Amino acid sequence: MTALRSTFERARAEGRAALIGYLPSGFPTQAEGIALALAMVDAGVDIVEIGLPYSDPLMDGPTIQAAVHQSLTAGSTVAGVLDTVSAVSASGAPTLVMSYWNPIEHIGVEVFADRLHRAGGAGVITPDLTPEEASDWLAATDANGVSRVFLVAPSSTDERIASVSAVTDGFVYAASTMGVTGARASVGSGARELVARVRAVTDLPVAVGLGVSTGEQAAEVASYADGVIVGSAFIARILAAPGHAAAVTAVRELAVELAAGVRAPARSGF
């Protein structure tokens, strides 16, 4: 069993959802980003997503775009992303890369999968890769023991959900709403139904992202999903902090709130 799957199984045994936190690599700087990710883990985040900064982020909302721009301006590289993965995964938290497909294809799918494996990475989330175009990626990740995470959305047909689940071996990423990333006042109303539709075709863990920003929202999602994904809310607190020490404190406080949230609700749908 992979470390990623073991983390979901442990959370389920504890009667809760897993908490997944996202930060782009190199934000605000590489060293500070690593420290912030480790603070997230120390305060209750179970799994970490490290974003590979990309200049054409189709799904990213303004908050993540601002962080990615800062990272790219500072000279973020793929080597830096892998160094970040190595440092964060050493904490014991399964660490994934979130990347659009173009950078991976540019590097070479076999090369990227091999380098990620050597860095201790648990898997890769590819939001814009479709199952029909994933044959080379399936082979490369299988060869290197790297988990694959694909996305479904409320607009996905049952057939699309089945085809995505068939090529996923980490967890299914259920986007709670259509549109770009970003903290919202409420989580998309179709998220619960989407999770149920995914569970009808696979026993893989299902994690919900896009919009979660408070402990209350985390508790809502945790009542029916295996994982709660939070990104923009962490980034917003970092952007608002007057300095690194304040950013670490803000990230810790939010992680503690969210960790309490995923432990709060009565579980359903299992």
* Residues taking part in catalysis: 49, 60
CA gap 218, 265 in Å, rounded: 9
Token pair for residue 201? 């075709």
Which residues pair with residue 97 across a beta bridge?
Answer: 50, 124
- HEC string of 177-194 equals CCCCCCCCCCCCCCHHHH
**If you count them, how many residues does the chain have?**
270
Are the beta carbons of 5 and 219 closer than 8 angstroms?
A: no
Query: How many angstroms separate the Cα of 161 from the Cα of each of 19, 99, 181, 207, 239?
Result: 23, 20, 20, 14, 35
